[in-house]
Structure 1
Amino acid sequence: MKRIPLSHTMNTRDLGGYPAGNGKMTAYARILRSDAPLVLSIEDAEILKQLNVTAAIDFRSKPEIERNPSAFELSPDFDYFHCPFAIGNRDPGSKDGVPALYGEIISDFPAIGRIMRIIAGQKGAVLIHCAVGKDRTGVVAALLLLAAGVGASDILADYQVSYTYIRHLIRETKKKNPELPDYYGRSDMENMEKTLIQFKEDYHTIDEYLGKLNLTTNEQVTIKNKLF
């Protein structure tokens, strides 16, 4: 994992560098994950071009985008796709509700299928993002790492580092809004660990899961090889 130092994001990271079995490592400049890039400087765009990024996929809801448009939407340098989930940006209601909410994201087959289809169709690297790059982005990143054969411990490590990068924002937000719950903004390992356990119970393997997304065989193969 390598953080990408864009000027107006805190949590932009590359999914490269993780062991994926059979001596393989996930490659850099294939999939980037991020918080919402509301501004792209000339230097930012150049960094992303050097990483071969050709497209961005925005998981936020329509109201979120109307309040804070993605800089990619107006950029002539990148393709922009809006792929919201049925849950929108709904709060889980409690810490214990986080894995269940992640399960709803995973079971949103139309949204995940479209996201995977877009990723499979891009020859270059793809940047995926939501608001802070933790929940919706974290779930999709976990699925992509699973598809690449990355083990659970590295998927958990990739997930939990989000809070490290966004902690200052979360602390300031909580100061201004003291009514926010303790779990707000956190990426505790247990959330994703419970999600992965439930994923195995529900779908058994990533291959069985990909088979539910209405992807062609070639698209499924492309997704599994995207990080190499």
Structure 2
Amino acid sequence: MEQQRPVPGAQIPLEGAVNFRELGGYPAADGRRVRYGLLYRGGNLDTLQSPADRALVQSWKLNTILDLRSNGECAKHPDPSLPGVQYRRICAMRMRDGSEMDFSADGIERLAAEKAAFEREAGHPVHDFYWFSILYRQMPFGNPAYHALFELLEQGRVPLLFHCSCGKDRTGIAAMLILLALGVSRETALADYMLTNTYRQAQIEASLQGKTEAERELLLSVEGVSESMGAGALDAIVERFGSYERYFQAEYGLTPSRLQALRDRYLE
């Protein structure tokens, strides 16, 4: 009897972490679906310490791990070494000078300085929400981590796990880009992005306790994700290129034939 496949976007049950999932099962425009067991997304891997968690991760038979975090984050929460798995780390968020945007404790001072420079140019204080909204609109362009991601996809280096610290922002944008490249609709890709708020609900509610509705909207993205931020990144692609297909060709060299080959590899 064939094993029942999980609902697309379902959380993978782990003892040490939330918001780990795979991209399998999502429907594409050509009537096919994303293949299961190839594309996994998540957060810090050092939380997966129990024998059950380690066994489950090993069952994925990973070929490659792409770590989207900064060096500072990795130093504090290093990925475990998994036998036979190739590991790459390329930070998916960058300062204006191209250096890593470090969300570790040691990187907060540099982040504050970066924001202060932005505010000086704007001529007025800016809430973190609005600053990050602008950063999100820049993430799909010239991002070395996402270029590496699509190289790995074209090379067939799967099963692949791509992750950041919480599996919500850098990982969430990466997942949307993969789904769009495979012909999954914008609405479905954005819905997958927003599932973080379901799987991290406990963390979100703890951080927002006692906040007003206005404060909750602005602070949601600290532990969860903001729909306007995620949608803004996708809107920026269409505004600049007119279509996702033109973006994938200009940004990653995915000509129509190469994009079709990618879809044939990852759809069933």
Same fold (TM over 0.5): yes
- Spell out the pairing of 1:7-26 with structure 2 (5 A cutoff): 7-26=15-34
Aligned twin of 1:182: 219
Within the alignment, does 1:46 sit opposite 2:55 as a pair? yes
Q: Report how many aligned residue pairs link the two structures.
A: 223
SS in 1 for 2:19: coil
Counterpart pick for 1:196 among 209, 212, 234: 234
Aligned twin of 2:153: 119
Aligned twin of 1:4: 12
**Is contact 1:103–1:195 with CA below 8 Å preserved after alignment?**
yes
Deviation at 1:25, TM superposition (A): 1.5
Counterparts of 1:39 and 1:169 in 2: how far apart (Å)? 15
Q: Deviations 1:29-59 (Å, cap 9, x if unpaired)?
A: 1211111111444433432343342211110
More helix by share: 2
Deviation at 1:152, TM superposition (A): 1.4
What residue identity is the alignment partner of 2:219? Answer: D
**Is contact 1:132–1:166 with CA below 8 Å preserved after alignment?**
no
SS in 1 for 2:145: helix
Counterparts of 2:262 and 2:70 in 1: how far apart (Å)? 24
TM-score, normalisation: structure 1: 0.83
- Where structure 1 has 5 or more consecutive residues not aligned to the other structure, the ranges are none
Counterparts of 2:154 and 2:54 in 1: how far apart (Å)? 22
**Is contact 1:29–1:53 with CA below 8 Å preserved after alignment?**
no
Aligned twin of 2:142: 108
Counterparts of 2:233 and 2:90 in 1: how far apart (Å)? 21
**CA 1:39–1:187 in structure 2 vs 1: closer, same or farther (change >3 Å)?**
closer
Q: Deviations 1:52-84 (Å, cap 9, x if unpaired)?
A: 42211110001111111122xx22242211011
- RMSD over equivalenced CA pairs, Å: 2.8
What residue identity is the alignment partner of 2:21? Answer: R
TM-score, normalisation: structure 2: 0.72
Counterpart pick for 1:128 among 157, 162, 173: 162
**Is contact 2:12–2:20 with CA below 8 Å preserved after alignment?**
yes
- Where structure 2 has 5 or more consecutive residues not aligned to the other structure, the ranges are 1-8, 96-100, 104-110, 116-126, 210-214
Counterparts of 1:223 and 1:197 in 2: how far apart (Å)? 23
Larger-gyration structure (1/2) = 2
